Amino acid sequence: MQAIRSILVVIQPDHLEALALKRAKLIAGVTQSHLHLLICAESGEHGGHLRLLSNALQQDGYSVSSEQAWHGSLHETVSMVQQAEGCGLVIKQHMPDNPLKKALLTPDDWKLLRYCPCPVLLVKTQTPWSGGTVLAAVDVGNVDSEHRALHARIVDHGFDIANLAQAELHVLSAHPSPVLASADPTFQLRDSIEDSYRQQCRAFQETYDIDDGHLHIAEGPADVLIPHFAHQLRAAVTVIGTVARTGFSGALIGNTAEVILDTLESDILVLKPDSIIEHLEQQLSEH
């Protein structure tokens, strides 16, 4: 988070609550990041609105640039501008989709989470980050090197946000129910599954000084447990990873980040593994 030099802020002129800009100012105030304001619109003249916002931010001491652009869809516009401007973070306010529309069409914010090749922060609430709780959700049952690197990045970003907002960091990992037929005896006993998950968490507990009271290992599906713990802890922001599934399997399974988007009562920061970021950047460069 500290290494972010430029933040892309998606401005929605029809929404008066500029929640995305509020979060961007908080992060940029600490990291000294440049703010690039983007209105995704093919028609309509929004230059005046962008100038007003930019002037107000500059008077407050922020480094700002802005543009109106359209490349066929919201997620493609955001991704192409993010690449062109070299932004390390995208911030956008999330509007819940109509359930019927969501059943028929993939929501714009889902597409943004799948295709944008950098971390995406979707802002959902007015809840202040300062002095609140940050929840980092990891799946330590996946122990391959790519998932381990992603877990480290999730906790690292959670730690950075907790520092910049003087908030408390909590870490959650969901584990499966015991499977009596499992060949691995570890997965036959609830206590041994939990112990195994706690062991996997030891390294980042030591690195980030997370005590056992701030580590939660719980049994059940992640898409149920993450919103439950976020609500229980009154989290202001939840940090999660996604494998950015696309195509038919994505439509059937859905990513946890997408599934919890409307049930989560907090902002959500979504990160991806390096290999997926490289693949998405490659696809964008071929446009």
- Interval 235-243 mean pLDDT: 91
CATH fold of 133-282: Rossmann fold (3.40.50)
Average pLDDT score over residue span 121-135: 94
The whole-number average pLDDT for the span 119-133 is 94
* Nearest in space to 55 (alpha carbons), one of 35, 74, 41: 35
Type of residue at 58:
Q
Return the domain boundaries, the chain.
Answer: 6-93, 133-282
Q: Nearest Cα to 155, choosing from 92, 199, 221, 203?
A: 203
Query: Of 92-106, 140-154, 210-224, where does mean pLDDT reach its minimum?
Result: 92-106
pLDDT at 187 over 50: yes
pLDDT > 90 fraction of the chain, expressed in percent and rounded: 54
The neighbouring-strand residues paired with 135 are 170, 238
CA distances from 137 to 86, 160, 241 (A): 27, 15, 8
Q: Is 215 exposed, middle or buried (0-12, 13-18, 19+ CB in 10 A)?
A: middle
Model's pTM, two decimal places?
0.89
Residue 59 above 90 pLDDT?
yes
Do 133-282 and 6-93 fall under one CATH topology? yes
Query: What CATH number is given for 6-93 in this structure?
Result: 3.40.50.620
- Three-state DSSP state, 36: strand
Query: What is the pLDDT at residue 101?
Result: 64
Under 8 Å between Cβ of 172 and 138: yes
Residue 186 has pLDDT above 80, yes or no: no
| φ, ψ dihedrals at 40, nearest 5° | -90, 100
Higher-confidence residue of 110 and 183: namely 110
